Amino acid sequence: MTTFKALVVSETADKQYIREVRERRMDELPEGEVLIRVRYSSLNYKDALSASGNRGVTRRYPHTPGIDAAGEVAASESDRFRPGDPVLCCCYDLGMNKPGGFGQYIRVPAAWVMGCPDGLSLREAMMYGTGGFTAALSVERLTGHGVTPEQGKVLVTGATGGVGSVSVAILAKAGFAVVAASGKADQASFLARLGAAEVVGREAVVDRKGLALLKGKWAGVIDTVGGEILATALKSTRYGGVVTCCGNVAAAEFATSVYPFILRGVSLVGIEAAECAMAVRERVWARLAGEWRIDFIEELVTEVGLDDLDHQIGLMLAGRHRGRVLVNLDR
């Protein structure tokens, strides 16, 4: 095969960005030790930014986004992989400045590739994708810092999103009482199905009074949105609690004081998936395939082909999507 289908984002003469599915040539792919025939990908917020011309994510266009890819090895110069091996490639520079998983083929360094976890098919792995991996990494950091179900409620912000929805489901499965915060009032039943013990609106987790500290409500928080919601979460966390931060869809900046840290011993833990060490990736993916596997993962997922991806990108940028978006490259 000399060509393959891919979603390509191009910049027009008047600085607009258009998305279209078209044929790309194999010789347009960058150098790398492993050529992968992509079967599935997933849509993440970073992909939506890349697909809309965000230069902070992608420097040069035309470009094929997709920070996730799952498929079979088509060719390999590495002793670690053989043709036909089921593999994943998630994050690093994939889909940011290198052609990504929204194309039927990618060529990447062998160091970016890991075997598909035992217990997960390629399709199931991409139902989680980087969003699910980030959720699992957040839960692992929370519990690793000593937060237990006996200590009280855990808040998840942006709970209907890709990271938030999987976080709610994993925490509930691990025995936590989860309070899910979302701006989508019509999704309360969806969040309850995921295991949320309580669903609250966005305004319930935002402090408009500017207080330095609020009543301690949370044993832990998984924040996916940033901004004033993150600031309020810090002020509302109990003594010794932990807040993880992995997103900035609300805002990249937040204002707070030192008091949650020096009076309550609250810890703020950053979550970063793009350059995560391979040993950590393999451990967390194994937990997603095992103890944290979501039995009803299909209910979180909207499956689309490349031709329907543009619509889903628009929904995500408008804050109207729900759960995970699985991209079937053979559809």
> In angstroms, how far is CA 104 from the centroid of its own chain?
21
Question: 258 and 140: one domain?
Answer: yes
In a domain, 167, yes or no: yes
Question: 134 and 104: one domain?
Answer: no
In a domain, 266, yes or no: yes
Beta carbons of 259 and 237 less than 8 angstroms apart: no
Give the span between the Cα atoms of 213 and 235, in whole angstroms: 5
Residue 217 token pair: 């409500």
In a domain, 291, yes or no: no
Q: Give the single-character DSSP code of 117.
A: P
Question: 10 and 93: one domain?
Answer: yes
User: What predicted TM-score, i.e. pTM, was given to this entire model?
Assistant: 0.95
* pLDDT tens, residue by residue, 198-216: 999 999 999 988 899 999 9
In a domain, 282, yes or no: no
Beta carbons of 266 and 237 less than 8 angstroms apart: yes
Number of domains in the chain: 2
Residue whose tokens read 């191009």: 10
- DSSP three-state, residue 264: coil
C-alpha count within 13 angstroms, C-beta hemisphere, residue 219: 18
The domain that holds 97 is classified in CATH as: 3.90.180.10
Question: 25 and 100: one domain?
Answer: yes
- DSSP three-state, residue 288: helix
Domain range for 187: 130-270
* pLDDT tens, residue by residue, 235-255: 999 999 999 999 998 898 999
What is the pLDDT averaged over residues 17-35?
97
Question: 158 and 193: one domain?
Answer: yes
Give the span between the Cα atoms of 189 and 196, in whole angstroms: 9
pLDDT of 1? 66
The domain that holds 141 is classified in CATH as: 3.40.50.720
Helices (H) and strands (E) in the chain, counts: 8, 15
